[in-house]
């Protein structure tokens, strides 16, 4: 695993400024331009570039290794220690090269004291051991960790804002899809054809079976009440959907009689699970719309839940001879809802005898 930060121009600017600063404070560069001065300049430029990229690599490696906020202290400690030791070792190698390039010998290099020491109450802390300048390494670690800490903050803040924008965009898309779903539901259900069939069935029942007619009116009002209520929510419980589909099935059975059979076998432990509203109704209506239903060859629809918490809606496949014109609602509507909710997509299977749709349920 790697961690990337776009710091190209930060490196170019930072290395340039560090080289300029070195030129400004080093009296050696005020001497006449000679080959030795030029070689020292090249070594200093290479030292700055190497030190920057060494610390950059260390910081990014530990950032990738300890990415969680809970690991921040471990990451900072490991980065600081590794950066200090690595910068110290690199600095030692480059100072040896610089000393040899400018003086032509290393005879007195190990005898000179180049670094600071601190004396407190006659106790001296030397940050220079065997020619290794640990103070320089500490300074490098603090400097580069500060620079990249700021870059990480900027990057994470930008990523957080982008996530917020993406979430807002998805919410708007979901809202638009939901509004379209409302319109589709009203177009499909609250239309003269549906109402005409329902009133015809009711009319015949009033004279033949008044009690059945009264029950039909109750179920019809229940269906319309649920249709209107479903327009105000993205998800509903499986129990609510099953209660609605029973009422809807009652209306269909009044019309089709024994030609239509619905078998619901869902354990009550799955009742609290959720799914987009009207999913079952769309699947049942699709089955009725596209298949032949007769007393001799009844259309059998089954609703179950498998062990993977998927709602299985299957129907016997006996397609009508003349293909029914579809208005694009139904399966397309359901799949769009699942996509907008970032849920696993429904699975559609068709065999010689059955048409099956598997809808993932949300725990």
**Where do the domains of the chain lie?**
8-166, 190-360
Mean pLDDT, residues 147-162? 87
Which of helix, strand or coil describes residue 273? coil
Question: What is the band of 205 on the pLDDT scale with cuts at 50, 70, 90?
Answer: low
Structure tokens at 144: 């580069």
Beta bridge partners of 354: 316
The per-residue pLDDT for 312 is 94
**CA-wise closest residue to 33 among 23, 19, 25:** 23
CATH of domain 190-360: 3.30.565.10
Identify which of 96-100, 121-125, 259-263 has the greatest average pLDDT. Answer: 259-263
Question: What is the band of 342 on the pLDDT scale with cuts at 50, 70, 90?
Answer: confident
**Neighbouring residues of 159: CB distance < 8 A, sequence distance ≥ 6:** none
DSSP state of 44: H
Question: What is the band of 81 on the pLDDT scale with cuts at 50, 70, 90?
Answer: very high
| Residue % of the chain over a pLDDT of 70 | 78
pLDDT tens-digit readout, 216-232: 777 777 777 776 666 66
The per-residue pLDDT for 82 is 92
Is the per-residue pLDDT at 127 higher than 70? no
From residue 249, alpha-carbon distances to 71, 227, 337 in Å are: 56, 14, 23
The per-residue pLDDT for 311 is 93
Identify which of 13-17, 77-81, 205-209, 324-328 has the greatest average pLDDT. Answer: 77-81
Contact present, 48 and 18 (Cβ < 8 Å): yes
Is the per-residue pLDDT at 106 higher than 60? yes
Mean pLDDT, residues 325-337? 67
CB atoms inside a 10 Å sphere around CB 85: 15
User: What are all long-range contacts of 63-66, with beta carbons under 8 Å and residues at least 24 apart?
Assistant: 63/3, 63/152, 64/1, 64/2, 64/3, 65/1
Q: Where are the beta strands (DSSP E) in the chain?
A: 117-120, 123-126, 128-129, 132-133, 236-237, 260-265, 274-275, 299-305, 310-316, 347-350, 354-360
Distance, CA of 58 to CA of 78 (rounded, Å): 9
Ramachandran assignment for 121, one of left (phi > 0), alpha (psi -120 to 50 degrees), beta (any other): left
The per-residue pLDDT for 3 is 73
Identify which of 55-69, 121-135, 313-327 has the greatest average pLDDT. Answer: 55-69
pLDDT tens-digit readout, 281-325: 888 888 888 888 888 889 999 999 998 989 999 999 888 876 554
Tell me how long the chain is.
363
User: 302 φ, ψ to 5°?
Assistant: -125, 140
């Amino acid at each position: 695993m790697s961690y990337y930060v776009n710091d190209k121009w930060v490196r170019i600017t930072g290395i340039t400024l560090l080289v300029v600063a070195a030129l400004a404070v080093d009296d050696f560069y005020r001497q006449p331009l000679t080959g030795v001065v030029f070689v020292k300049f090249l070594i200093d430029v290479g030292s700055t570039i190497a030190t920057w990229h060494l610390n950059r690599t260390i910081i990014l490696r530990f950032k990738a290794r300890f990415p969680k906020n809970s690991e921040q202290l471990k990451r900072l400690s490991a980065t600081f220690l590794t950066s200090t030791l690595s910068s110290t070792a690199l600095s030692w190698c480059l100072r040896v090269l610089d000393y040899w390039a400018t003086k032509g010998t290393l005879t007195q290099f190990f005898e000179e004291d180049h670094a600071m020491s601190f004396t407190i109450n006659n106790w001296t802390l030397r940050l220079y051991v065997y020619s290794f300048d640990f103070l320089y390494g500490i300074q490098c670690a603090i400097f580069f960790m500060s620079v990249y800490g700021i870059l990480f903050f900027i990057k994470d803040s930008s990523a957080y804002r982008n996530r917020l924008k993406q979430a807002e965009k998805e919410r708007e898309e979901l809202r638009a899809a939901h509004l379209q779903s409302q319109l589709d539901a009203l177009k499909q259900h609250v239309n003269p054809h549906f109402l005409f069939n329902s009133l015809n069935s009711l009319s015949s029942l009033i004279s033949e079976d008044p009690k059945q007619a009264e029950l039909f009116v109750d179920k019809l009002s229940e269906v319309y009440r649920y249709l209107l209520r479903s327009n105000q929510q993205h998800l509903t419980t499986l129990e609510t959907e099953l209660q609605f589909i029973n009422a809807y099935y009652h209306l269909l059975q009044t019309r089709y009689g024994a030609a239509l059979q619905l078998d619901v076998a869902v354990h009550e432990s799955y009742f609290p699970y959720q799914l987009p509203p009207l999913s079952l109704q769309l699947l049942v209506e699709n089955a009725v719309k596209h298949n032949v239903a007769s007393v001799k060859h009844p259309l059998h629809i089954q609703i179950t839940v498998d062990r993977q918490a998927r709602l299985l809606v299957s129907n016997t496949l006996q397609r009508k001879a003349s293909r029914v014109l579809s208005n694009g609602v139904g399966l397309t509507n359901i799949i769009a809802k699942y996509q907008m909710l970032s849920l696993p997509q429904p699975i559609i299977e068709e065999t010689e005898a059955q048409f099956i749709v598997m809808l993932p349920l949300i725990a």
